[in-house]
């Protein structure tokens, strides 16, 4: 007899293969199934990704170099001299910055980044 799955350690939800993995996959293996349900795993993944992103942004400068925006949700990592090599965006870019490439980047908020990208400069005058 296998011990029954204890359910999600985070939210307490009972083990349910459809919630954990969708249909089919891993159906017979509650013994090796993750201890967290799909929703909690996703939330943890997002949290971890956010933390890494914030770490990278802090390393580069924490605020938009153009307008001084400091709300993390508005901030983006911008290639100072335009994109040349390495990852373009997302977690790959965050890892690239954290690997010692922070000097190649600046922090811009979404507005300023958009303006730089679409008009070549920002009306604020900072980039
Ligand atoms: Zn859960
Ligand atoms: Zn800005
Ligand atoms: Zn600006």
Kindly give the distance from the C-alpha atom of residue 119 to the centroid of ligand 3, in angstroms, as a whole number: 11
> How far apart, in whole angstroms, are the C-alpha atoms of residue 31 and residue 82?
49
Q: What are phi and psi of 65, to 5 degrees?
A: -70, -15
Separation of CA 66 and ligand 2 centre (Å)? 5
Residue with tokens 């009972």: 14
Query: Given the structure tokens 């296998």, which residue do they identify?
Result: 2
What is the whole-number distance in angstroms between the Cα of residue 69 and the centre of ligand 3? 9
Which bound ligand lies closest to the C-alpha atom of 65? Answer: 2
What are the residue ranges spanned by the domains of the chain?
Answer: 61-119
pLDDT in tens, 54-81: 999 999 999 999 999 999 999 999 999 8
Secondary structure E strands in 31-115 = 75-79, 105-109
pLDDT digits (tens, 9 = 90+) for 32-44: 788 899 999 999 9
pTM of the model: 0.75
Structure token pair of residue 99: 């690997």
**Is 80 exceeded by the pLDDT of residue 94?**
yes
């Amino acid at each position: 007899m296998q011990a029954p799955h204890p359910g999600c350690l985070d939210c307490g939800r009972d083990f349910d293969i459809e919630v954990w993995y969708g249909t089919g996959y891993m159906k017979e293996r509650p013994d090796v199934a993750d201890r967290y349900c799909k929703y909690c795993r996703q939330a943890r993944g997002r949290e971890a990704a956010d933390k890494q992103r914030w770490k990278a942004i802090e390393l580069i400068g924490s605020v938009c170099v153009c307008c001084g925006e400091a709300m993390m949700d508005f901030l983006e990592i911008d290639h100072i001299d335009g994109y040349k090599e390495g990852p373009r965006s997302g977690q790959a870019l965050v890892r690239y910055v954290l690997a010692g490439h922070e000097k190649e980047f600046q922090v811009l908020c979404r507005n300023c980044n958009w303006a730089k990208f679409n008009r070549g400069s920002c009306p604020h005058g900072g980039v």
